[in-house]
Amino acid sequence: MALVEPSEPSAGGRRRLRLRSPATLREMGEIDVQTAEEVRSAVERARKAAPGWAATSFADRRQVLERALRHLVHHEQDFVDVIVQETGKPREEVLATEIVGACDALQFYAKRAKRILADHTVPLHLMKTKRLLISYRPLGVVGIITPWNVPFLLSLNPTIQALAAGNAVLLKPSETTACSGELVERLLAETDLPQDVFQLLRGDGETGAALVEAGVDKISFTGSVATGRKVAESCARKLIPCTLELGGKDPMIVCADADLERAAGGAVFGAFANSGQVCISTERVYVVEEVADDFTRRVVEKTSELRQGPEGESDVGAIIHGPQLDVIEAHVTDARARGARVLAGGQRNPDYRGLYFEPTVLADVDHSMQVMRDETFGPILPIMRVRDEEEAIRLANQTRYGLGGSVWTRDKRRGTEIAKRLGSGGVVVNDCMVTYGLPEAPFGGRRESGIGQVNGETGLRSYCHAQTIVIDRMGTKSEFLWFPYRARKGRLIRRLLKLVWGTPLGRLLT
Ligand code: NAD
């Protein structure tokens, strides 16, 4: 079911896309797709605006972020309305993730960017005649390309980080959630950000590809592995840095000593929140044999209590992106054909016209099934019984992804040890999916889940070049290592070499 369809071209000859709500299938409007030429002009304007913005103080940038924060807090309902209508998510979910997450990010970077990006001196271990200063210089113009699953927060968060670091920004949100992406523009229009320091680009993959090619200084991409690969190839050709936040297949390990009530609740939330459309959703569970029946019974019970639908209170929202529904259905069909049992759900919700898939629990699954190997990105919770924790770790690591995961045990030290053995960018012990919501935590994937990390000090600094400035402290007429090379100098270097690296005292002091 396509929710984004081609429409009649605009008067100016631009392609146009017609959008529908996934909750009701009602038409929501149309967007123009900006052309490569328009993208290049936008980059040129950003290039002109960038030096002025880079020269602003952290106090000026803080003011912009704080103004945005104030506006968002006071008008949150308007923002929630747009996102709910466009994504079919429950209102409370939008409030708790998109809005709270955005407020926290705005406040976090407004308050801390100055400290995180301050020039700092690094004491030198050897060459005491020099002073080393690290200065975080803005990159210039940053292109940000974002997906549809958490369309406001995932667009706003990298944007404000890049701005706080002193860059001009071009944001290309997903065409599937064009209106939620536009909210970033609406919010920043309420601040007095100078013209062209932030620009929104409307369009689809073609516009995104044009942005990568248009001469920006960095691409921050969040989306699928397939598109991430294309973006990485283009960036490699242009020799520009990129961070790639891609898909995942997060494992959940339930140990024999886990608090099963909490673990079952965590599994249901981790798999069905945002209708399973989170890069760090729980996508597969490994539970040890001795507690598997008890755990599974609790999961099924909790799943049966979940509410769905476009009206009134609900827990599990719509599938936001039409083609994703086909992937979800294909995974369930494949699992069934290979012997999986459906303990709950298992089909599109027949009660609604919109794109709702019932929260689904599968048992008797194994790694021959797509649902255990490929990202499903939907409300599906496959539970696999394993002999012991060792088998759980081995199977959890049998994947081409490496984004998140969780371990459930009453022994927190053991949980931490298991976490370290998982090949994931981040792991949570006795909870799930909180890693993106902690701005202090560097967030990113390993293997096909991506390259680089976002958020926190690491993420903010990735929007800068850490420039090395070395200052001579002594002001002598010449340096020992300068010309001329003489045999006497060679003998002295040899003596120093023996003294510094050839003696315990020398090694201790360096
Ligand atoms: P997608 O790759 O289809 O699209 C993402 C963005 O890229 C969209 O804005 C799209 O218009 C644009 N795009 C498409 N083709 C392009 C091209 N050739 N060049 C440049 N841009 C192009 O992904 P999606 O379906 O929107 O998002 C779902 C995926 O995102 C899932 O795999 C999910 O796991 C992943 N995701 C990852 C994270 C993370 O932080 N790791 C967060 C959220 C979502």
- If asked whether residues 235 and 288 sit together in one domain, one would say no
Residue 321 counted as domain residue: yes
Residue 448 counted as domain residue:
no
Within-domain flag for 29: no
Q: Which of 381, 416, 439 is the last residue of a domain?
A: 439
pLDDT in tens, 452-498: 999 999 999 999 999 999 999 999 999 999 999 999 999 999 999 99
Q: For 335-378, how does the pLDDT look when each residue is reduced to its tens digit (9 = 90+)?
A: 999 999 999 999 999 999 999 999 999 999 999 999 999 999 99
**Tally of CB atoms within 10 A around 13:** 7
Distance 224 CA to ligand 1 centre (A): 4
Nearest one of 208, 273, 213 to 238, comparing CA atoms:
213
Cβ–Cβ under 8 Å, residues 348 and 25: no
| Atom 40 (ligand 1) nearest CA | 245
Share of the chain above pLDDT 90, in %: 97
Residues 85 and 211 in one domain: yes
How far is Cα 404 from Cα 444, in angstroms, rounded to an integer? 9
Which residues form the domain of 414?
250-439
245 in ligand 1 pocket by Cβ < 6 Å?
yes
Q: How far apart are the first and last CA of the chain?
A: 65
Q: Is 102 helix (H, G, I), strand (E, B) or coil?
A: helix
Selecting among 93, 245, 283, 375, the annotated active-site residue is: 245
Per this entry, what is the length of the chain? 510
Structural domain contains residue 376: yes
Q: Do 267 and 234 share a structural domain?
A: no
Task: Specify whether 223 is located in the same domain as 184.
Answer: yes
- What is the spatial distance between Cα 26 and Cα 230, in angstroms, rounded to a whole number? 33
CA–CA separation, 364 and 341 (whole Å): 6
Asked if 267 and 235 sit in the same domain, the reply is: no
C-beta of 174 in contact with ligand 1 (< 6 A): yes
Please identify, among 439, 460, 486, the residue that sits at the C-terminal boundary of a domain: 439
pLDDT tens, position by position, 19-73: 999 999 999 999 999 999 999 999 999 999 999 999 999 999 999 999 999 999 9
> Given this model, what pLDDT does residue 137 score?
98
Distance, CA 225 to ligand 1 centroid (Å)?
8
Whether the Cβ atoms of residue 277 and residue 319 lie closer than 8 Å to each other? yes
Cα(223) to ligand 1 centroid in Å equals 2
- What is the position in ligand 1's atom list of the atom closest to the CA of 279? 34
Q: Which of 174, 321, 455 to mutate to test the pocket of ligand 1 (most atoms within 8 A of CB)?
A: 174
Residue 99, pLDDT above cutoff 90: yes
Domain assignment of residue 20, yes or no: no
Ligand 1 atom index nearest CA of 444: 41
Statement to judge: residues 401 and 280 lie in one domain = yes
Query: Is position 11 within any domain?
Result: no
| Domain co-membership, 272 together with 401 | yes
Same-domain check for residues 156 and 301: no
Sheet holding 4-7, edge to edge: 4-7, 16-20, 27-32
d(CA 420, CA 412): 12
Using CA positions, which residue lies closest to atom 14 of ligand 1? 205
Report d(CA 49, CA 43) in Å as an integer: 10
Statement to judge: residues 121 and 261 lie in one domain: no
422, 439, 456 - which closes a domain: 439
Task: Tell me if the bond preceding 484 is cis, omega within 30° of 0.
Answer: yes
Is 247 a residue whose pLDDT tops 80? yes
Specify whether 204 is located in the same domain as 271: no
Q: How far apart are CA 181 and CA 86, in angstroms?
A: 11
Tell the residue nearest (CA) to atom 3 of ligand 1. 224
Per the domain annotation, does 300 fall within a domain?
yes
Could you confirm whether 182 is annotated as catalytic? Answer: no
Catalytic site includes residue 432: no
Residue from 279, 358, 432, 464 carrying the catalytic annotation: 279
Residue 120, phi then psi, degrees to nearest 5: -145, 150
DSSP string, 268-297: HHHHHGGGG-STT-EEEEEEEHHHHHHHHH
What's the gap in Å between 178 CA and the centre of ligand 1?
Answer: 13
Distance from residue 160's CA to the centre of ligand 1 (Å)? 19
Q: Residue 197's closest CA among 47, 40, 59, 41?
A: 47
pLDDT of residue 241: 98
Shared domain check, 289 and 237: no
Q: Kindly state whether residue 60 falls inside one of the protein's structural domains.
A: yes
Q: For the chain, how many structural domains are there in total?
A: 2
CATH of the domain at 190: 3.40.605.10
Q: Give the tokens for residue 396.
A: 């959890």
